[in-house]
Amino acid sequence: MSRRQLYTGIAALAACGVIFVLPFIFIFITAAKTKQDAATLRFSWPVEWQLWQNFVEVVQTRNYMLLLAYFNSTVITVAAVTLLVLFGAMVGYVLQRRPSRWNTVIYGCVLAGLMIPPAIVPTIWVLQLLGLFKTLSGMVLIQVAYGLGFTVLLFRSFIATIPRDLDEAAIIDGAKPFQIFFRVILPLLKPVTVTVIVVQSIAIFNDFTNPLYYLPGRENVTVQLTLYNFQGQFQTQFNLLFMNILLVTIPPLIVFIFFNRQIVAGMTAGAVKG
Amino acid sequence: MTSVVLESVRKSFGSLEIMKGVDLTVEPGEFCVFVGPSGCGKSTLLRIISGLETTTSGQVFIDGKDVTDAEPSERGIAMVFQSYALYPHLTVAENIGFGLSLAKRPKAEIAERVKQTADVLQLSHLLDRKPKALSGGQRQRVAIGRAIIRNPKVFLFDEPLSNLDASLRSQMRIELTELHAKLGATMIYVTHDQVEAMTMADKIVVLNGGQIEQVGTPMTLYNNPASPFVAGFIGSPKMNLFDGEIAARENCRTYGIRPEHIALSSTEGKWQGKVRHIERLGADTVVYLDVPELQTLVVRTDGDRPVKIGETQFASPLTGKEHRFS
C-alpha cells in the first residue's frame, strides 16, 4: 500500500466515522442521561448514568406499548418479506423463462410500480372496501405491493444467470413446473434471496409513513410510531426518545450483521462446465 | 429394446424453417449418431425426440407409440446435456436420485438404486460431494448416472464430450461404447465431431441445413458418400473436392479424392505440384501441394517420407478410390 493510499484510506474512515458512528454515539449517550441533562442536547458525558432506568421507563410507557409495537412490526416484516420472496421469485421466474407477449405488459407494470408514486387516499378506499383497513394483513399487503417491483427486478436478473439446461434436465427427470421452481430454481436463488431479505426487512421494519397512513389505531402501533410517545407539542423527553430510538435500531442492525456474512454468490458454480 | 421413428418432422421458429421434413428410423438397441455442422438442426432434432421442443408438423414414435404430443417424462427417455446440467445445490447422490425422489419412491429404494448406478460408473466414493467439487469427467459421469438410473428406453446425448479435454474425451468414448454394449439400450448421440461419430456409431445420420444428407454405417459413409457435403464431412483430413474444369474432364459436377488415396512420387504422376506446407503427425505426414490446375491438393503419406517445402512432387489418385458426384 502506498503512502497516498494509506492517507486516503484514513480520510475515508474518518469521514465514515463522522457520518455513521458519531450520531450513534450521540444517541447512546443521550439515552443514558437524565431528563434535564438530555434537554440541553449537548454532546457531553452524562452527569448521571440512567441507562437502565430509561430502558425500563420506555418499555413500560403506555402499558407496555413498545412490546406490542415490536410484536406488530415483527409480524408485518416477517409476513411481508416471506410473501415478497415467494412472489418476487415466482414472477421473476415466469418473466425470465416463458416468452409471451403478456410478459412485456407485466414487466411494464413492474417498472411502473417502481416509478409511479402510490396514491394514499385511493389506496385507503380500496383497503376499506376490502375490509383490510386498520388490519395487520392489510398492512402486510401494502408492504408487499410497494416492495414487489424492486424484488421482481432483482430476481428476474438473477434467474437469467441460471442455465436453462437445469430446467430442462428437471423436466426430463419428470418434474412438474412447480417442482422445477421449488426444488431446482428456488434453492439456487439463495444469494439474491438473502439480499432481498436484508433490504426489505430493514425497509419494512423501519417504515414510518406507511403504518402512519394505513394502520391507525392504538392496537396497531408499530415500532417507528412509538417514537411519538415522547414528543409532545410543548415538551419532548429527549432521554426517553433516544432510548426508544436505540431500541428500535437494534433489530435491523442484528439482521444486517447476521445476514451480511451470508451473502455469498457463486451458488451456480459447477452447474455448467468449469 | 426400443425403436425411434420420425415421420416427416418439420420445425419452424417464426418464418425460419429449421427442420425441413426429416424421416428416420433408429432400430432397437442401435447407437445412432447425428452429425453435422453448427446450425444444421441436429440438436433441435434431438430436442424434438426428447419432447423439450414440439414439432411444427410430423410425428415422433418411440417403441411404436405416437409420442408427438407427450410430455418428456412420459416418453421413457433420458438425456445428457452438453453442460451436464447438474443441480449445483444437490450432492452427487441427490443429483442421481432426483428423478426417483420426484416420483416419490421410498428412500431405501432410492439409496439402493443410486448405489448400484454409482458402482457402475465408479462414483461410489463421490456420492456426498457437490458438483462444483468434481472434475469435468466426474461431472460427466454423474450426468450419465442421472440418465441410467431411470432405466430409460432411449438415451439421448447432446454433445456430451465437447467440454472435456482430448485424452479424457477418447477415454469417455470407450466408456460410452462399453456402456451401450452393457445396457443394450437405444442411444441417440449428437456431435459435430466426425471422429466421435465414426468411432462410436452403429449408424450415422449426416444432417445439413435441416435435412438428412445421408444415413449409413460409418464405413458406408466413408466409402460411398452420397454427396460432396458428406464426403467433405466424414474423414480427416477432409476429402479434396474440385468443381469446374477438373470435374467436367472427369464427367461429373464434383470430383473428389481422399488425401489417403493419393500416391506421391518424385518422378511421375497425374498431377505435378510444389510442396507448400507439411504437417508431420508421426505415423502420417500430410502434404499440401500447390497444383496449378487444382489449386491446393492435400495428400496423406507415410510418416517418414522425405519431402521438403518447395520441392516438386507428383500425385496420382489410386484407382477405384475416386469419387464422382453428379
Q: What is the dihedral of CA B307, B308, B310, B316, to 10 degrees?
A: 10
Question: Using the beta-carbon criterion (under 8 Å), do B132 and A270 form an inter-chain contact?
Answer: yes
Q: Which fold has domain B257-325?
A: OB fold (Dihydrolipoamide Acetyltransferase, E2P) (2.40.50)
SS3 B214: strand
Beta bridge partners of A236: A231
| Domains defined for chain A, CATH in brackets | 55-268 (1.10.3720.10)
Place domain B4-232 in its CATH homologous superfamily.
Answer: P-loop containing nucleotide triphosphate hydrolases (3.40.50.300)
For the stretch B142-185, pLDDT in tens is 999 999 998 899 999 999 988 888 888 888 899 899 999 998 89
Question: Using the beta-carbon criterion (under 8 Å), do A172 and B52 form an inter-chain contact?
Answer: yes
Say what the ipTM of the complex is.
0.85
Cell, residue A46: 452524562
Q: Are B99 and B143 in contact (CB under 8 A)?
A: no
CATH 3.40.50.300 in chain B: give the residue spans.
4-232
The rounded distance, in Å, linking the Cα atoms of A13 and A129 is 52
A269 has a chain B CB within 8 A of its CB: yes
Nearest CA in chain B to A189: B89
For the stretch A168-208, pLDDT in tens is 999 999 999 999 999 999 999 888 888 888 889 989 999 99
Q: Are B144 and B122 in contact (CB under 8 A)?
A: no
Nearest CA in chain B to A268: B88
Question: Using the beta-carbon criterion (under 8 Å), do B146 and A169 form an inter-chain contact?
Answer: yes
Report pLDDT for B136: 87
Region B219-225 average pLDDT = 93
Report pLDDT for A270: 37
* pLDDT: which is higher, A106 or B244: A106
The rounded distance, in Å, linking the Cα atoms of B178 and B199 is 12
Region B242-247 average pLDDT = 86
Question: Using the beta-carbon criterion (under 8 Å), do A174 and B146 form an inter-chain contact?
Answer: no
Of the spans A144-148, A265-269, B242-246, which averages the highest pLDDT?
A: A144-148
Question: Using the beta-carbon criterion (under 8 Å), do B163 and A187 form an inter-chain contact?
Answer: no
Q: Residue B85 — pLDDT band, cuts 50, 70, 90?
A: very high
How big is the A-B interface in CB pairs under 8 Å?
Answer: 82
Give contacts of B77 with chain A, Cβ < 8 Å.
Answer: 172
Report pLDDT for B108: 95
Distances (CA, A) of A216 to A119, A125, A137, A207: 17, 14, 13, 14
Which positions in chain B have a beta carbon within 8 angstroms of at least one beta carbon in chain A? Answer: 50, 52, 71-73, 77-79, 81-89, 98-99, 102-103, 130-134, 136, 139, 146, 150, 163
* pLDDT for residue A268 is more than 60: no
Residues of chain B with pLDDT > 70, as a percent, come to 100
The alpha carbon of residue A202 is apart from the nearest alpha carbon of chain B, in Å, by 28
Model-wide pTM > 0.80: yes
* pLDDT for residue A261 is more than 70: no
CATH 2.40.50.140 in chain B: give the residue spans.
257-325
